[in-house]
Every structure is written in C-alpha cells, then in structure tokens.
C-alpha cells in the first residue's frame, strides 16, 4: 500500500495549487531520518508499513517531541510494532460498511443519510483508523462511471436528506473537484444537508485557504464540516486560522474525536481538547469509542473506563463542551450513545428515580 497511485498523486498535487508544501513523511526510512524511530526498530516497523499506510504531514511532524516516548502526537501517527498484533475480535471492516454499500463509494446505513466516499487516501494515516484495511496511498478516487453511479443512487433515494462526505479524507481533493461535487449535490432537491468529515484543518492547515473554504459550500444546502482532532496540541496557530476560515465561510463546525489510550484518555487532556474545539467555534459532537480495527488494541480502553471519563466532564465543563460518547456496533448495526447514566431506579413509592449530581450524590425525583 505504500506506492502512490497516479490518480491520487494528481489529486494531491491539484489540492496543493498555490501553496508551498513540504513533502509528508511516507516511509519508515523517512521517519528514521527525521529522528522519530530508531534503527533497531526499523525491521519491525517495515513490516507494519508493508501492511498499513504511513504518512505524517509536516504540520504534525513539527509537533512531535522525539525525546518523549509517550508523545501523544507521535502515538497517533508513528507506526508501532503493536500494530502487528491482531486480536480474534478485530475485524477488517469493523463497522460493517460493506454490508450497507449498495454501489461503490456509497454507504447507506440509516434511512435519511448516506456516506459518499470520494477518495480512499488521506494526507495522514492514523494508527487507529477503523478503515485502515481499505484506505491508503494506493487507494483510487471515485471518478467516471463509478462516481456517476454513486450520484445516480443518491438521486434515486428521496429519503436521503443528508450526505456525509468521507473517505479517506475528501479534503485531499482540489478546490476544482470539490466544486464539481458540490454542483452535483446541489442538483438533487431532497438532499438538504452536506457534511464534510476531515482531518485536514488541523493536520494540513495550509490547504484550507479562503477559496478552498468557499469551494465546500453547496448552493442551496446547509453545510457542515466535522473536524477530527484528538489532542489539544493539534490546535496550532495555523490550525486555528484554517478553522476560522471555514467558520467565516459560513460552515457549521462540529467535532469528531476518538477516545485513545495514551493520547487523550485522561480528564485533563479530554477537557482541554473539548475547550479548544469550543474556543474555535467547533461544537463537540462525537467522541468515539475505538473500533475493533486490526492491530489497534493498544489504543482501546474499556467502555466502563470511557464512561468514567465522560462522567467527569459533566458538571466540570460548560454544556457547550460535552460530546456524545458513541460506540459503533461491530458488523454494521450502527452507532449508539454509551455515555454514563445519571438515573437510578427508586424503590420508594412516589419517587420516580434517584438522580445523581456531578458530585456523586443521589437525590429523589421528584422530591418526597
């Protein structure tokens, strides 16, 4: 997967028109030369790279402290030999995209919304990615007859109210291609909401020019951008400026994060992350429990541990900072909220429930 396809090379070049970009680090040798891995680890990590794509953008490389073995940015993007361990419960398609894909590039799991996967490549490859068996620099873009078939499906399903643009990362595409896609979406009357999911505003912020932000607008539709970030250090000045350009262009901004051991699985980091989103006009939306993707067990914590962390956010952070803790049921059954409950059964007649406050104290409701 480490060889770039011709079409993806072209798409990346087009997306960088008018901007000065240093090359991402796309090989174990490049990471070694940058000081992010040692020579002793090279053979094991070459085995990882042979199976899962590698790419670290200059913006993310600049945030990594090579002297810190627990650096949370490195943990997200630098390959780890633990990725070679696949547990029996881990799945190549952990959330069941394939079971809900009526035509190539479309996932239609819920009645009123569908995913459109425009491209199977990303500027960076997260080591915990739930689509890691499907995306990579050898992944092609959805073009020609395949793209026509995807749009024909969307147009023929009047119940589809929202289209979620995903991949890969759709913001790897050029502004010109995004405008072409926006024009085709605008021509489908029953689609009212277009939501773009991307890592780009934080991992490659120079790409988000004012023109690029405008290219994401779909005439006549409400436009949302879900920004994926997992650690408050990702909010560099350049990332904040890129996010501001999206907000100023009229996009409603939402957050996507994954709860990751060694990255953000403590209340201080998680609180700072959610506050960073809100300070940048991004409404916290989903906090994902890690999916059962192959080779990712070293990132996962238990649901009980995740609930305890989310419980600590309630009452200690503004309501604006509260994400929904989500589990994507393996096999394709969909997302469910798995946050902690603050209601407990009441045995007293006339009392509907025992409710728990942020200090852990219980109160009868309604009061006797």
Q: Is the pTM of this model over 0.85?
A: yes
- Do the Cβ atoms of 273 and 264 come closer than 8 Å? yes
CATH code of the domain covering residue 89: 3.20.20.70
Please identify which of the residues 75, 117, 122, 325 carries the catalytic annotation: 122
What pLDDT, on the 0 to 100 scale, is given for residue 315? Answer: 81
pLDDT tens digits, 312-326 = 999 889 999 999 999
19 and 147 belong to one structural domain: yes
Give residue 14's pLDDT: 46
Compute the distance between CA of residue 161 and CA of residue 154 in angstroms, rounded to an integer: 10
Structure token pair of residue 43: 């053979």
Active-site annotation holds for 335: yes
Domain that holds residue 78: 1-336
Query: What is the pLDDT, as a whole number, of residue 140?
Result: 73
Can 328 be counted among the known catalytic residues? Answer: yes
Q: Phi/psi at 237 (nearest 5 deg)?
A: -55, -40
CA count, 13 A, side-chain hemisphere, 307: 10
Instruction: Tell whether the model's pLDDT for residue 13 goes beyond 70.
Output: no
Q: What is the DSSP letter of 209?
A: -
The answer to whether residues 128 and 139 touch, using CB atoms and an 8 Å cutoff, is no
Among candidate residues 131, 132, 195, 311, the one labeled active-site is: 131
Structure confidence by residue, pLDDT tens digits, 204-263: 999 999 999 999 999 999 999 999 999 999 999 999 999 999 999 999 999 999 999 999
Q: Are residues 59 and 101 in the same domain?
A: yes
250 and 119, same domain (yes or no): yes
| Whether residue 32 lies in the annotated active site | no
Whether the Cβ atoms of residue 196 and residue 224 lie closer than 8 Å to each other:
yes
Residue 259 sits in the same domain as residue 363: no
Give me 231's structure tokens. Answer: 């650690």
Annotated catalytic residue 184: no
* Overall number of domains in the chain: 2
Residue 7 has pLDDT above 50, yes or no: no
- Model confidence pLDDT, tens digit, residues 79-130: 999 999 999 999 999 999 999 999 999 999 999 999 999 999 999 999 999 9
Same domain, 89 and 191: yes
Catalytic residue among 41, 71, 97, 328: 328
- 309 and 368 housed in the same domain: no
Q: Please, are residues 75 and 263 in contact by the beta-carbon 8 Å criterion?
A: yes
Same domain, 209 and 251: yes
* 109 among known catalytic residues: yes
What is the pLDDT confidence band of residue 9, given thresholds at 50, 70 and 90? Answer: very low
251 and 294, same structural domain? yes
234 and 348 together in one domain = no
Tell whether 267 and 359 lie within a shared domain.
no
Residue 136: the pLDDT is 84
The pLDDT value given to residue 177: 96
Does residue 77 surpass a pLDDT of 50?
A: yes
Q: How many helices (DSSP H) and strands (DSSP E) are in the chain?
A: 12, 12
Q: Is 245 a catalytic residue?
A: no
Q: Say if residue 105 is in the same domain as residue 217.
A: yes
164 three-state secondary structure: strand
- The pLDDT confidence band at residue 19, using thresholds 50, 70 and 90, is very low
**How many residues would you count in the chain?**
368
Residues 179-198: what's their mean pLDDT? 98
Whole-angstrom Cα distance, residue 316 to residue 358? Answer: 8
Cα gap 323→130, rounded to integer Å: 20
**pLDDT per residue over 36-58, tens digit each?**
999 999 999 999 999 999 999 99
Is 283 considered catalytic here? Answer: no
pLDDT digits (tens, 9 = 90+) for 250-308: 999 999 999 999 999 999 999 999 999 999 999 999 999 999 999 999 999 999 999 99
281 catalytic? Reply is: no
Q: Which of 80, 93, 97, 291 is catalytic?
A: 291
């Amino acid at each position: 997967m480490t060889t770039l396809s011709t079409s993806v090379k072209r798409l990346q070049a087009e997306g960088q028109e008018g901007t000065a970009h240093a090359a991402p680090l796309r090989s174990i040798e490049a990471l070694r030369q940058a000081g992010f891995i040692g020579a002793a680890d090279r053979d094991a990590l070459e085995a990882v790279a042979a199976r899962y794509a590698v790419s670290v953008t200059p913006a993310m490389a600049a945030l990594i402290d090579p002297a810190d073995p627990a650096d949370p940015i490195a943990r997200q993007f630098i390959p780890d030999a633990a990725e070679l361990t696949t547990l029996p419960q881990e799945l190549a398609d952990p959330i069941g995209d394939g079971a809900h894909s009526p035509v190539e590039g479309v996932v239609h799991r819920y009645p009123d919304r569908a995913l459109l996967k425009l491209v199977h490549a990303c500027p960076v490859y997260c080591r915990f990615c739930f689509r890691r068996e499907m995306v990579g620099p050898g992944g092609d873009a959805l073009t020609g007859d395949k793209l026509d078939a995807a749009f024909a499906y969307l147009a023929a399903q009047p119940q589809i109210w929202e289209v979620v643009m995903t991949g890969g990362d759709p913001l790897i595409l050029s502004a010109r291609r995004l405008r072409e896609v926006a024009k085709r979406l605008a021509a489908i009357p029953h689609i009212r909401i277009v939501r773009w999911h991307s890592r780009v505003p934080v991992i490659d912020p120079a790409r988000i020019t004012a023109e690029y932000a405008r290219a994401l607008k779909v005439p006549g539709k409400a436009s949302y951008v879900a920004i994926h970030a997992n650690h408050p250090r990702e909010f560099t000045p350049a990332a904040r400026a890129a996010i501001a350009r999206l907000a100023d262009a009229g996009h409603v901004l939402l957050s996507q994060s994954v709860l990751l051991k060694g990255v953000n699985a403590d209340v201080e980091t998680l609180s700072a992350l959610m506050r960073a989103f809100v300070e940048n006009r991004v409404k916290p939306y989903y906090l994902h429990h890690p999916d059962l993707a192959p080779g990712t067990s070293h990132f996962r914590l238990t649901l009980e541990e995740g609930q305890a962390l989310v419980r600590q956010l309630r009452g200690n952070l503004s309501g604006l900072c509260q994400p929904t803790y989500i589990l994507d049921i393996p096999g394709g059954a969909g997302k469910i909220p798995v946050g902690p409950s603050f209601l407990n059964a009441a045995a007293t007649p006339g009392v509907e429930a025992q409710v728990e406050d942020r200090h852990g104290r219980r109160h009868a409701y309604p009061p006797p």
